[in-house]
Amino acid sequence: MIRRKRVGSTGQLAGIVILCVVCGLSTGVRASVEDAGTYGAAFLRVPVGAAGMSVPDVVAGMDPDASLVFSNPASTGDLRSPQLFLTRASWLEELTLSAASFGTPIPRLGLVWSLGSRILHSGDIQGFDAEQNVVESDSYYGLSFSSTISRRFHSGIAVGGGITYSREHLPGETGDGTSFSFGASYARSGHRFDIFAENVGGTLEFAGYEYPIESRYVAGYGYSIIGGPGRLDLGTQVVVSNSEVRQVEFGGAYRFNRFMTVRAGYNYAMNAATENAMPLSAGLGFHHGNFSFDYAYTSQEYFSGTHTFSVGFAFGRSTGRSSPTLRQEAAPVGASTTGEKPVETALAPAPALVAAPRQEVTPAAKASMTPAASKTSYVVLGGVHSRMESAESEVRALRLLKVSATIDKTGDQYRVVVGRFGTRQEAEAAVGSYADRGHRFRVLTQRD
């Protein structure tokens, strides 16, 4: 956990060793027992939330929620509305991890602010004398408070940073310290790249002695595929730490519709002490309106698997930010969403798959145009394709999901258009309504 402690009773020492194994091995970061005696605040390595336990961070970031305050701080920049998140995971008897977080956009600043807290707590750890009488009883806990600020730019790049205060109590000793996290992500045309560093520059101080908090460095890539009845998110990431732990994580999430998501993951520890240190994970998500419930099961090496339960709630619709579509570049930061028009009445059905060539404007016509002659419209876009067949496939898939769409040919590209609106507020409201149903679109400003 922190360091070797001189203990007179073998029972108490065994309890500390068990806690070291739980904190070091239950996280998916398969640190050896020797590593566990070197660093402080090992509980910070435990993934938080059902999505974080069942898939890599890069996949969890494709469908963001407030739990990402404990992961890549840049991913919280994708939150479109205030969100509340609660979770609980259990390992051995009376050893639990509980966490709560809240994230909200700040439209005027174009930022997203998040705050979260987690606690890993054990039952009593007892010490015995030679006659096996209980001579001491204490418990272990690790507590942290985290805060992040993030922003996503028009280009699809998001950046974020955060600070974490940690407090850890071992039988007979308590220490605390502060660490920092930094991250960036880039989403465009279905691709997502994540890179971040967790718990950098932190130490935990126990009775005048300082022990470093293990830093974690992550690089990941993900791809989102919209086809058939739903959306498939796939991703992988490489994790290294200053304790020389190295691992590769693979995972995916398939969102059948706006109600159900399934997840699965596989973790390979490249420098695992044993061949068995390759856990599998799986999970389910259920969504209804603004409420979500998620479950994850993670296999363990030395004891029964971990069960994680999470709930989330989003307050209202977009407060001025659109989540970046993974089929396209990030949506720009726009004006506040009012939800004045329901999408069903604002969108006109498309009778056929017809490519509408864009009319060319001659230089003479351009010169004769006055500013009043041009009209601005706001287009809600799906994918942009280089082939007509690919665009038609997306339109067919959207129509199966009861989403009207047409194809607009621009140059050598085929754009899937979901709707056209006279104001940005109406377009953002449409994007927010579709996001509630599990679809990700973006708003494009167009001058006709």
Q: Is the pLDDT of residue 327 over 70?
A: no
Residue 307 and residue 355 in one domain? no
Average pLDDT over residues 267-292: 77
Residue 337 is classified by DSSP as P
Q: What is the DSSP string of 201-267?
A: T-EEEETTEEEEBPPEEEEEEEEEEEETTEEEEEEEEEEEETT--EEEEEEEEEE-SSSEEEEEEEE
**Could you tell me the CATH number of the domain that includes residue 182?**
2.40.160.60
Q: Rounded to whole angstroms, how far apart are CA atoms 55 and 249?
A: 8
Domain containing 381: what range? 343-447
Residue 283 lies in a domain: yes
Residue 310 and residue 347 in one domain? no
Q: What is the DSSP string of 184-200?
A: EEEEETTEEEEEEEEEE
Residue 324 lies in a domain: no
- What is the pLDDT at residue 139? 77
Residue 266 and residue 411 in one domain? no
Residue 199 and residue 246 in one domain? yes
Residue 297 and residue 400 in one domain? no
CB 414 within 8 A of CB 384: yes
Highest mean pLDDT range out of 34-38, 136-140, 182-186, 317-321?
182-186
Taken in order 390, 157, 60, 434, the sign of the CA dihedral is negative
Residue 294 and residue 351 in one domain? no
Point out the least confidently predicted range of 30-34, 315-319, 366-370. 30-34
Give pLDDT tens digits for 109-120.
889 999 999 999
Residue 306 and residue 348 in one domain? no
Q: Is the pLDDT of residue 190 over 80?
A: yes
- What does pLDDT average to over the chain? 76
Residue 338 lies in a domain: no
Q: Is the pLDDT of residue 68 over 80?
A: yes
Q: Is the pLDDT of residue 33 over 50?
A: no
Q: Rounded to whole angstroms, how far apart are CA atoms 428 and 333?
A: 10
Q: Which of 314, 335, 367 finishes a domain?
A: 314
**Could you tell me the CATH number of the domain that includes residue 361?**
3.30.70.1070
Q: Rounded to whole angstroms, how far apart are CA atoms 57 and 53?
A: 9
CB 104 within 8 A of CB 112: yes
Residue 91 and residue 233 in one domain? yes
Q: Is the pLDDT of residue 408 over 70?
A: yes
Residue 37 and residue 152 in one domain? yes
Residue 329 lies in a domain: no
Q: Rounded to whole angstroms, how far apart are CA atoms 165 and 177?
A: 6
Residue 115 lies in a domain: yes
Residue 98 and residue 209 in one domain? yes
Q: Rounded to whole angstroms, how far apart are CA atoms 75 and 431?
A: 19
Name the one residue in this structure whose structure tokens are 């363990």.
Answer: 300
Stronger pLDDT, 423 or 332, i.e. the higher one:
423
Work out the percent of the chain whose per-residue pLDDT is above 90: 29
Is the pTM higher than 0.95? The answer reads no
Stronger pLDDT, 375 or 203, i.e. the higher one:
203
Q: Where are the beta strands (DSSP E) in 291-398?
A: 291-298, 306-314, 355-357, 376-385
Residue 324 is classified by DSSP as P
Residue 323 lies in a domain: no
Count Cα atoms within 13 angstroms, Cβ side, for 6: 0
Rounded to 5 degrees, φ, ψ at 372 are -70, -20
Q: Is the pLDDT of residue 46 over 70?
A: yes
Give pLDDT tens digits for 333-374.
333 333 333 333 333 344 444 444 444 545 554 444 444 455
Residue 321 lies in a domain: no
User: Please, what's the largest Cα pairwise distance for the chain?
Assistant: 102
Residue 292 and residue 359 in one domain? no
Stronger pLDDT, 295 or 132, i.e. the higher one:
295
Residue 157 and residue 291 in one domain? yes
Q: Rounded to whole angstroms, how far apart are CA atoms 335 and 429?
A: 10
Number of domains in the chain: 2
Radius of gyration of the chain measured on its C-alpha atoms? 25
Model confidence at 239, pLDDT cuts 50, 70, 90, reads very high
Residue 1 lies in a domain: no
Instruction: Tell me how far the alpha carbon of residue 173 is from its chain's centroid.
Output: 34
CB 141 within 8 A of CB 46: no
Which structure tokens are listed for 284? 């389910």
The total number of residues written for the chain in this structure = 448
CB 255 within 8 A of CB 230: yes
Q: Rounded to whole angstroms, how far apart are CA atoms 89 and 298?
A: 10
CA distances from 218 to 22, 46, 184, 364, 407 (A): 22, 15, 11, 55, 39
- What is the pLDDT at residue 370? 46
Name the one residue in this structure whose structure tokens are 């596989």.
Answer: 266
Count Cα atoms within 13 angstroms, Cβ side, for 403: 28
CB 251 within 8 A of CB 265: yes
Give pLDDT tens digits for 247-278.
899 999 998 887 899 999 998 887 655 444 45
CB 120 within 8 A of CB 142: yes
Stronger pLDDT, 241 or 103, i.e. the higher one:
103
Which structure tokens are listed for 134? 């209980």
Q: Rounded to whole angstroms, how far apart are CA atoms 437 and 323?
A: 13
| 200-204-208-210 Cα dihedral, nearest 10 degrees | -50
- What is the pLDDT at residue 172? 73
